[in-house]
Amino acid sequence: MKTVEILEKLIAFETVSADSNMALINFVSDLLRDAGVEVQIIPDRTGAKANLYATIGPTDDGGVMLSGHSDVVPVAGQNWTKPAFELTHENGRYFGRGTTDMKGFLASSLAMALRAAKLDLKTPLHLAISYDEEIGCIGVRSLIDMLDAAPIRPRFCIVGEPTSMGVATGHKGKLAARATCRGLEAHSALAPTGLNAIHLAAEFIGALRDIQADLAENGNQDEDYDVSYTTIHAGKISGGVALNIVPNQCTIDFEIRNLACDDAPAILDQIQNAANVIVADTDHPSAGIEIEVFNTYPGLDTPQCSAVVDFVKSLTGANGTMKVAFGTEAGLFDQRLGVPCVVCGPGSMALGHKPDEFIEADQLRACDAALDALLARLVIGI
């Protein structure tokens, strides 16, 4: 099968993160097994979702891993003029949810894997397809555990998130957390007899902004990013029941998007200390601010001079490198397994997560060409 034929199949699987990806995984698994490829499926606890890992070629060498996620973001509430889960070809563009992020790369990788299965590779090719990437790189962690226990690790990894085929060496890490501010309810006519949790939350947000200002002013800077420093942002707030009740609880969801050289847990400690000061200043026994981290993944900062960067540049013909604003699974592969990673894939993330998401046919062709160059190298050995 060719890239576009495979893409058409992949787009038709409605693999929104909240739903099962098993139909897609079974399709890919059948496709590879029919070509004689050995496939491992790593299911989650419910059996509704799974990662897939496949190796073509020798099993006693590290080889090159192509990595991508099977899940897509929802289409609910978006104004699509094309069918979201049906590939539409129009004026050199392929429309559909996931065309850019990132089933285009998966399709190109699978088409190349089918070609690879007919050849005698000196260096192995690995395919890693994950689930639940879009909700914080959750699913890939069990695949990483499996690789961690394996005797040999991939020598290089290409995470095919959309970079318009540029070679990206870095992205920021993320820590997502919830602060629960606790006060004491009272009749609003007697407001000072209670402790207003929304007011505590306002002070907490003030502390987040002070720490952000300090990071922007005095923290590490990396000019390769659109925003050159570590950022903190409060994205959701919820508290209060009625205007005439002093609220006893308010929650704030916030995140840290850190440069790989900044330590997100250390910044979180700073935030917790600021919260403790706010609570102590109330001098009220009901006061509290508890912080719970619900997701975290590391940043990526692959050195420009590393072998994986030279190798992937030689496949794509890229001269320079770039860094991307969005997070990927590459940080986890690098941190947990020590596998050198770059992010390089077809399409532009500016088109991802939007209605009428599409990928240019030229981008798919460029990816096919780069993966053909990879295949040629795997045949002679790297």
Report the interface residues with Zn ion, using CB under 5 A.
101-102, 161
Nearest 10 degrees: Cα torsion 151, 156, 157, 160? -160
Q: Which is nearer to Zn ion, 105 or 254 (CB)?
A: 105
Residue nearer to Zn ion on the CB measure, 288 or 327:
327
Residue 132: CB partners within 8 Å, gap ≥ 6?
17, 49, 69, 71, 138, 139, 140
- Nearer of residues 103 and 182 to Zn ion, judged by Cβ: 103
In the complex, minimum distance from the CB of residue 102 to Zn ion, in angstroms, rounded to a whole number: 5
Tell me the C-alpha distance between 173 and 109, whole Å.
26
Which residue's CB atom is positioned nearest to Zn ion? 101
Distance CA 53, CA 66 (A): 10
Nearest CB to Zn ion, comparing residues 161 and 262: 161
Query: Which residue lies nearer to Zn ion by CB, 102 or 112?
Result: 102
Given a contact cutoff of 8 angstroms between Cβ atoms, the answer to whether 87 and 8 are in contact is: yes
For 177, which DSSP code? E
> Can you tell me the distance from the alpha carbon of 272 to that of 266, in angstroms, rounded to the nearest whole number?
10
Any bridge partners for residue 373, and if so which?
Answer: none
Smallest distance from the beta carbon of 103 to Zn ion, in angstroms?
10
- C-alpha span between 76 and 57 (Å, rounded): 42
Query: For residue 5, how many other CB atoms are within 10 A of its CB?
Result: 12
Min dist. Cβ of residue 161 to Zn ion (A): 5
Question: In what helix (H) or strand (E) does residue 130 lie, and over which residues does it extend?
Answer: strand 125-130
Residue whose CB is less far from Zn ion, 102 or 140:
102
Whole-number minimum distance, CB 184 to Zn ion, in Å? 44
Alpha carbon distance 292, 271 (integer Å):
12
> Would you say 161 or 360 has its CB closer to Zn ion?
161
> What is the token pair recorded at 231?
């950022």
Q: Which residue has the tokens 């706010």?
A: 278
Which residue shows structure tokens 């030279």?
A: 310
Contact 38, 54 (CB under 8 A): yes
Closest distance between Zn ion and the C-beta of residue 209, in Å? 30
Q: How far is the CB of 335 from Zn ion (least distance, A)?
A: 18
Residues 6+ apart with CB under 8 A from 19: none
Q: Of 72 and 289, which CB lies nearer to Zn ion in the complex structure?
A: 72
> At residue 55, what are phi and psi to the nearest 5 degrees?
-125, 135
Least Cβ distance, residue 368 to Zn ion (angstroms): 19
Task: Fill in the amino acid letter for 173.
Answer: G
Q: By C-beta, is 17 or 20 nearer to Zn ion?
A: 17
Residue 41 CB, nearest distance to Zn ion (Å)?
Answer: 21
Q: 92, exposed or middle or buried, with CB in 10 Å at 0-12, 13-18, 19+?
A: exposed
Q: Cβ of residue 324: shortest distance to Zn ion, in angstroms?
A: 10
